[in-house]
Amino acid sequence: MSHSPALNLDPHSSDRMKKKILAAVTAVVIGHVGVLWALGQMKIQDLKPVHKDPLQVHFVKIQQPPKPLPPKPKEKPKPKEKPKEVKEVKVVEKQLPPPPKKVEKIQQVKTQAPKQAVEQPVVKAPPAPVVTTTTSVVPKSTPQPVPQPVTPQPSAPAADPSPKTVSIGGSGVQWSRSPRISYDGSELQGATRTVVVLIEADEKGKVTKVTLVKGSGIAALDEKVLRAVRSAKFKPYKENGVAYPIRAKQPFDLTP
């Protein structure tokens, strides 16, 4: 029968250990308490606020230097002109040939012996009859043009000084500037008024005379009609290309 080895434990060793631990813990607690007490005894210094001026910031725009311009293209060198060749002209003096010598030619002239003259009888011819011819020159007469009879041109018919009585409109005389009568409807006094005038005009169509043939019964209204007709104008009245003065009647119906 085997026996386990017996443990030799000292009961007082555990008590010692406990005492050591307690002492250590107590020392730590006391140390902390001392630190806290020391901190409590310290005077808290008042911290004064520090006032500083605000920083002023200035923004500076950095300007970039201008870009350099591209270099100008180099001009091509002009080709050098070749110097013109100067040709030398040599002057050669030629010797002229000597002038030719004059050669005198001598011609021999042969003289003929004179012939003996033989005398022949001279026969005189009878004188020829003289014929005289007379020529008469008759001058030619140039024919003169026969004057042609002048046919008298028809003279334009003289304009009749008396005016022609015509109608206005249609195949008669025409207005170039018709009369404009301005009146108020109240002047007619509620009734239609008729005014008839006799108009005379010269060959140019200018109104020369206006006569009241039938009045409206209102003198002021008749005067307005006469004034309007005097300021009017006809086209020139012509017959066979000749202008004539005219006389024409014209009625005017004035309605309210």
Rounded Cα gap, residues 252 and 180, in angstroms? 11
Strand ranges inside 162-241, DSSP E: 164-165, 175-177, 193-201, 207-214, 233-234, 237-239
Given this model, what pLDDT does residue 143 score?
Answer: 59
CATH code assigned at 216: 3.30.2420.10
The one-letter code for the residue type at 48 is: K
Q: What is the pLDDT of residue 38?
A: 83
Q: In sequence order, which residues have a C-beta less than 8 Å from that of residue 255 and are 6 or more positions away?
A: 188, 192
**Given the DSSP bridges, would you call strands 242-244 and 237-239 parallel, antiparallel or unpaired?**
antiparallel
Digit-coded pLDDT (tens) for 214-226: 999 999 999 999 9
How many domains are there within the chain? 1
The answer to whether residue 133 is domain-embedded is: no
Residue 119 placed within a domain: no
pTM over 0.75: no
The pLDDT averaged over each successive group of 10 residues in the chain (256 residues) is 49 80 91 86 67 72 74 72 62 61 53 50 54 50 62 55 88 92 87 94 95 93 94 94 94 91
Structural domain includes residue 123: no
Phi first, then psi: give them for residue 153, nearest 5 degrees. -75, 140
Residue 44 located in a structural domain: no
Tell me if 189 is assigned to some domain. yes
- Whether residue 137 is contained in a domain is answered as no
Residue 20 lies in a domain: no
Q: State how far the Cα of 198 lies from the Cα of 195, in Å rounded to an integer.
A: 10
Domain presence at residue 179: yes
Strands of the chain, DSSP E: 164-165, 175-177, 193-201, 207-214, 233-234, 237-239, 242-244, 246-254
In terms of Cα–Cα distance, which of 212, 210, 211, 214 is closest to 193? 214
Domain encompassing residue 204: 164-254
**Cβ(246)–Cβ(201) under 8 Å?**
yes
